[in-house]
Structure 1
Amino acid sequence: MKLLSDGVKRLLAVGDDLEAIQRVYQEKLSQMGLAHFLYAEAPCAIPSINHGAVPFFLSCPETLQESYLDAVSLTGDPVILELPNRVAPFTVAEAVEIHVPAEKRGRVLNRLDKAGLGNGLVVPLNARQGRHCSSTVFAAKRGREGTAVLAEATHRVHVLTTYFHQRVRQVLDQRPSARPNLLTPRERECLLWAAGGKTAWETSRILKIAERTVKFHLANASRRLDTANTAHAVARAILRGEFVP
């Protein structure tokens, strides 16, 4: 319990620096044997992470994000499908069991496990009206060891994540609504489609511009927002209030 109480105290004391809040959360998760997390919001009506789950913070490398999307592309994201039905934590495997047809279940679970994402715990969180929010944490170990880590850490993860979410919302709610925009309208538009899961090619078809032009605008947006990739740029743009997904 000392680990949990220390984590809660530090989250409450760290101030209004969102990146510092994230670091405390990640540090405490790591001490529980959890390697990565994804804190995201999604529209209620959208059944797939490819079409609406917007990452605010994520510690998963981009390759792991792609592996997760590849695994759930067979059926749509079971976590997003299950979120409306839950208030207590549940595992990714449970969501797969409920929402993935039996004939595809093994393939989805194998893909997730191969990527190191087979042992995931989802914590549903309160979100803005018409949206769902959650933090999904993934065990560092695979197989039965990872399952045991999740089972042992569930209560602590639930409490810690609730405080993490509370601190993030406090900071965001205190920020002025009127803030100078860093992005051009076209950069914002390209990022908005990226937030909805569209590729550069798909966005180019929608906006009727060349794919290389979309990539140019996305690269410029990442540079202006001082981020390493498009996913991070989307997250920072939302946090800055550049757009609402």
Structure 2
Amino acid sequence: MSAQEKTVFEFIERVDSHALIDDLLDDLLRVVGDYGFQHMIYTGLPVGNNAIDPLVKTNRFPQAWWDRYVEHDYAGMDGVCQQVYSTMSPFAWNEVEQRFAEREGASQVAGEAAEHGLVDGYIVPVFSRDEWLSAISFGAATELRLSPRERGALNLMAVYTSSTIERRQQRQPTRGKLSSREREVLLWISAGKSCWDVSVILGISEQTVRFHTAQIRTKFNASNTTHAVARALQQGEISLGQLAESLGDMH
């Protein structure tokens, strides 16, 4: 067994020993760093015209790139993302089939990703109890040539990592229990305010507002903000009186 393979099995042996998911991800990134990767994301994949940001479980991609990816809804054009829908087999980003690579906007997405330090990568479809299809994707600043052994190691680590995260989230569900800031954001959004409006009202950045709305949708497993409001009311996270006050403040 090579030193690199030994490191992989040592990682697998300690996946359950991490008290926090963030610690597990830090450990994973250290190990996959030996394969040339610096970034990763674990996310569900959207169906139809739905957005991807509420489906993200963990994100270690460059924030500036992810903000742009979400803002412009690049999942619908991204050749890597689109190929996952047609196969459950892991693949390198540079192996995207021509039919996906030549779709409108695909080359633009790949080019902008490279500008943000994501030149190449490797994506592993994984099981998720919440989404119909999920994947862990690793990103690298240079083009890579992975051997079959290296691919097998990445597949193994991705599966163990996703399984551990799924078990943790099942034991400690994140749905419901809005923070005070999330509650404020949800009430203002439900009153018809835009993300920019809310950022001005609360004195925070527009991107922070977008982050909070994504977190809210995730907590309630909601497809959109209206759905999240309904579930928040059902679970007592907000009240009709609070909604009425928000609407009243608009006048």
Q: Tell me the TM-score normalised to structure 1 length.
A: 0.69
Matches within 5 A, 1:1-245: 1-15=5-19, 17-46=20-49, 51-53=51-53, 54-66=55-67, 73=74, 76-95=77-96, 97-101=98-102, 106-128=107-129, 131-140=132-141, 142=142, 146-149=143-146, 153-175=150-172, 180-183=177-180, 184-188=182-186, 208-209=192-193, 211-216=195-200, 229=208, 233=212, 242-245=219-222
Of all paired residues, the percent bearing the same amino acid is 13
**How far apart in 2 are the matches of 1:229 and 1:136?**
24
Q: Structure 1, residues 91-136: CA drift from partner, whole Å, max 9, x if none?
A: 2233363324378665444333333212111110112365321111
Q: Structure 1, residues 25-45: CA drift from partner, whole Å, max 9, x if none?
A: 222122322111111113333
CA 1:21/1:86 → structure 2, altered by over 3 Å: closer, same or farther?
A: same
Shift of 1:147: 1.8
Structure 1 alignment gaps of length 5 or more: 191-203, 223-227
**How far apart in 2 are the matches of 1:39 and 1:134?**
6
CA 1:117/1:70 → structure 2, altered by over 3 Å: closer, same or farther?
A: farther
The number of equivalent residue pairs is 216
Alignment partner of 2:136: what SS?
strand
Alignment partner of 1:85: what SS?
coil
Shift of 1:153: 2.9
**How far apart in 2 are the matches of 1:230 and 1:150?**
42
Shift of 1:188: 3.8
Who wins on radius of gyration, i.e. which is larger?
2
Instruction: Give the conservation status (yes or no) of the 8 Å contact 2:92–2:122.
Output: yes
What's the C-alpha RMSD, in Å, of the aligned pairs?
A: 3.8
Alignment partner of 1:131: what SS?
coil
Shift of 1:158: 0.8
Amino acid in structure 2 at the alignment position of 1:242: K
Instruction: Give the conservation status (yes or no) of the 8 Å contact 2:76–2:82.
Output: no
Instruction: Give the conservation status (yes or no) of the 8 Å contact 2:43–2:135.
Output: yes
**Bigger relative contact order, structure 1 or 2, given CA contacts below 8 A and separation 6+?**
1
Alignment partner of 1:56: what SS?
strand
**How far apart in 1 are the matches of 2:38 and 2:120?**
11
